[in-house]
Amino acid sequence: MLSVDPPDIENLLRLNPQPPNGIARVVPTRQTKTNKHHWKRNIPCNGCLTNDFDDIKHTTLSERGAIREAGRCLKCVDAPCQKSCPTQLDIKQFISMIATKNYYGAAKAIFSDNPLGLTCGMVCPTSDLCVGGCNLYGTEEGPINIGGLQQFATEIFKASGIPQIRDPAWSVDPNDASYMASVALIGCGPASISCATYLARLGYSNLTIYEKEDFIGGLSSSEIPQYRLPYDVVAYEIELAKQLGVKIVNGRSLSVKSGLTVDSLKRDGNAVVFLGFGLPQAKYIPIFKGLTESNGFYTSKDFLPVVSKASKPGMCACRSNSIKLPNIHGNVVVLGAGDTAFDCATSALRCGARRVFVVFRRGFTNIRAVPEEMELAREEQCEFLPFHSPSQVIVQGGKIVAMEFYRNFQNDDGEWIEDNEQTVRLKCNFVISAFGSGLTDQDLIGALHPVKLNRWSQPDVDTVTMATNVDGVYCGGDLAGVANTTVESVNDGKQASVHIHRYLQSLHGKVVNPDIGLPGFYSPIDDVDVSIEVCGLKFENPFGLASATPTTSSAMMRRAFKAGWAFSLTKTYSLDKDIITNVSPRIVRGTTSGHQFGPGQGAFLNIELISEKTAAYWCRSITELKRDFPTKIVIASIMCGFNKEDWTLLAQMSESAGADALELNLSCPHGMGEKGMGLACGQKTDLVRNICKWIRAAVRIPFFAKLTPNVTEIVDIAAAAQEGGADGVTATNTVSGLMGLRTDGKAWPNVGKDNRTTYGGVSGNAIRPIALRAVTAIAKVLPNFPILATGGIDSAEVGLQFLNGGASLLQVCSAVHNQDYTVIHDYVTGLKALLYLEKMGLDGWDGQSPPTPSHQLGKTNPSGLPILPNFGEYLIEKRKLTNQSKINGDHKVSHTETNSSMVAKQYPIAEEIPKVKDVIGRALSMIGTYGDLNNKQQVVAVINDDMCINCGKCFMTCNDSGYQAITFDDDTHFPHVTDDCTGCTLCLSVCPIVDCIKMVPRPTPYIPKRGVPLENEILPMRKEPLQTN
């Protein structure tokens, strides 16, 4: 039987979902306990961390994860997340740019406020900072992974190899002595790098960072483990500073003995000295006196730098053959409850510890470490012992064998008391003390003279200006006493740079405007010209606001121009005799993307009519806007019935007011058509042609006919407009539709007590395919005829699609509904980046998206291992193999690598970047009829098992919507594409993992399965209708 699946297909369909049959399933609990172990994915890692310094951060995101997470962001007004960030990152802006795949724009926003944006994306205690203020804490799904998004965007930019350059808007006279002043910065850590970067952006050219170690990065390199902060990240951000002329001198420490002191630096002609070297000495307690590494005792200052040098490729520049990890084994006790203590604990596991105990004096509610650090230690099977204070160390044969602790308790006055009667002895082989750090080296303290020190032997610093008591000496980071985290140290350097700038300028009799701020990040991408000339009008960029609710008033248009929009339509207006009054409700969210609430709507429906304001209001407004914004383009959107006198009068009024161009609204799909206006005029070629002729005779300025998609063939209407003398067309207006009916039969929106509705205009991404089809169809038939595209343009990437399809300018509306006028920054930077990256020709990149690596959980998969599923016994085996490969690789750092080898590859600055006009219509030659397509060049699907998350969506869609060409293993849950694949691409379309499925050329000729062979007799089709009784 043809309508019954053959046996091989029936076997393939065994695991296909079946409809419920009303019968409850019965499985013994013991069997379920066995089954769950096979499928379990959240298996704790036990003893598989030795020598494993790969990324373990939960926040790390793939492109798929980043886009989904960014799409959840509400982009709140007066965003609390930004107020909680020490460097004041514009968080909602960079997240909104990630959501539209403008990764350069996101990185630019991040690096503008934080020169160590990638480092901070990896190590920031976000739960206590930006994430702690996220308004989505008020919802079930929880706050945004801000740190992961920040890391993602900046890593993408790092991979692009594009350099940082000075913003020409902040250029200075190269002979200006004030900008040639010598500035010495002590310590190559976050505070100094930040301070030097901002001073370099301001134009200072004589900036030198002195670092006592042979490596760069300060504590970011030496005390934050590789699995949290790779060395190449630190080296990259320092390279960005060096691109602006900042110099790094290694092997120079501040000390009296070395001769490098605050006094000597000032005597040597340094106008400014910035102290940013941190707190270099560990704090001890008396019971550890005399103990060393040979006894099994480390401080965090001893332990973490050795771990870093042995595990961070490129960090150590010494000439020895290798640096070994600390030889840790058995039980390890880590003392302390800060971030450093937990770094020591998780690092000890990677150095060979069997068990790690984190012991601290107070309770869990008093832990100073951020929750992310503590949670990582818990997941890696570290044990926590709260309420214990060290009392003595037990040493036998020169080796630590145990520690004793007193039990702590808090009395009614809040004091913490040691109870000597309650003791605990813990057997251990090693002790790592992480009780904090300070400044105790007398040689170093002497080198700070004449800087005034406080009772902690740290510089006495003005926390606003970061200045010390000595003119021209500033301080930041841990040393200044306020910053406790990397991001706070970065902000200390940023804050200091402002006041250093004012101080240096004052030495030359200049006054700096206190409101001027600091230069942001700048790269060659920002120099790309995205202006375009259309119909003799010069547009700063191709993006403008459509005639819709974002241009309800001229005051709104004014704000839009200030935001950066190149042009704006007025809301459509009419003569007073045709004035309207709107109903309410009238603008509702779409249903085309399912039950999506909040911003990010894929569609809107409106039954709003044209402007309720008079033509006199709009004409006066046009005059004001053109007076105040002469470089912006104001296009008057006008509407009349089919009446020559009305069109002539309104067009001439608008021209006289100063409009740069007109848009003839011949397309409003609801309400106005019933008045003989809008769509009623735009659906017939003769009416469109005549109206355009009237306008052409009435005015000299360019005009565009706005077309409706609610016609049989939009190209015919466009041709009629061209014949009538129109300078171009707008394609398209909204699509007539009914957005939805409620379960009780009432429509939404409904008006009045009778709950009446009408067909409205659907807008947004839902109509993008219709608009893109209209634009390309018109452009193919009417070459060089300007098209103003509108309909679902919500990103630079989508805008480029319309430009490639033949559009000259891009009108935006629904995207502003979802956010606000500031999206223009996203679109402009995004378009510049797309044009620049295209010229760079980066291998495998698609726009701003780099090639997708094989990954799981956003982290690159290890190579050279068998491909196994990531669950159950397979996951355990995979971890064992991975760990064994790392142990066998002995993990000796090759010291032939230099720091510079770890910096992302840099490409030459691209030249001859395409102009906007160069890309218009370049896709048209590839768009044709079905008969133009080649059915000999077929493709098939290939699944990357290493990226597969075993959901089986490809299997299901192929079975019930396709060609039963994918099998599904009932044990491994790996899908497999068979030779029956027809290349339909449904599997790729529903796969949740980007690039897990790819379409590749078919290696053999495609032979369709005809069901009944062609050579057999086929019954002819019935030509006459069936006779029925």
The tokens describing 801, both together, are 């699609």
Residue 246 gets which letter from DSSP? Answer: -
How far apart, in whole angstroms, are the C-alpha atoms of residue 111 and residue 525? 14
Strand residue runs (E) in 149-230: 182-186, 206-211
Identify the CA nearest to 331 among candidates 353, 304, 348, 307: 353
The string of DSSP codes covering 18-48 is ----S------HHHHHHHHHHH---PPP-S-
Tell me the two tokens of residue 839: 């010229």
Q: Are 885 and 863 in contact (CB under 8 A)?
A: no
What pairing do the DSSP bridges indicate for beta strands 543-545 and 809-812?
parallel
Question: What is the token pair recorded at 313?
Answer: 């490729």
Q: Which amino acid, residue 796?
A: A
**Cβ distance 126 to 146 under 8 Å?**
yes
Q: What is the rounded distance in angstroms from the CA atom of residue 659 to the CA atom of residue 557?
A: 14
Beta-strand relationship, 966-968 and 975-977: antiparallel
Considering 130, 344, 619, 668, which one is annotated as catalytic? 668
Q: Bridge partners of 541?
A: none
Query: CB-based burial of residue 196 (10 Å sphere; 0-12 exposed, 13-18 middle, 19+ buried)?
Result: buried
668 is catalytic: yes
CA distances from 963 to 937, 957, 960, 985 (A): 19, 9, 8, 11
Backbone CA torsion sign across 101, 107, 110, 112: negative
Q: Are strands 760-763 and 735-737 parallel, antiparallel or unpaired?
A: antiparallel
Q: What is the DSSP letter of 1019?
A: P
To the nearest 10°, report the CA torsion of 218, 223, 227, 228. -70
831's CB contacts (< 8 A; 6+ apart) are 530, 541, 542, 796, 799, 800, 916
3-state SS assignment for residue 407: strand
Q: Taking the alpha carbons of 689, 694, 698, 704 in that order, is the dihedral positive or negative? A: negative
Helix, strand or coil, per DSSP, at residue 646 = helix
Give the bridge partners for 246, in sequence order. Answer: none
Q: How far apart are CA 282 and CA 284, in angstroms?
A: 6
Please name the helix (run of DSSP H) or strand (run of DSSP E) that holds residue 388, with its range, or none: strand 388-396
CB within 8 A of 538, min separation 6: which ones? 531, 532, 631
Tell me the two tokens of residue 151.
């890391």
Helix-then-strand count for the chain, H and E: 31, 35
The span from the CA of 566 to the CA of 856, in Å, is 43
CA–CA distance, 166 with 179 (Å, rounded to integer)? 14
- Rounded to an integer, what distance in angstroms lies between the CA atom of residue 694 and that of residue 888? 83
| Structure-token pair, residue 512 | 């700096």
Determine contact, residues 810/786, Cβ cutoff 8 Å: no
Catalytic positions, please? Answer: 668
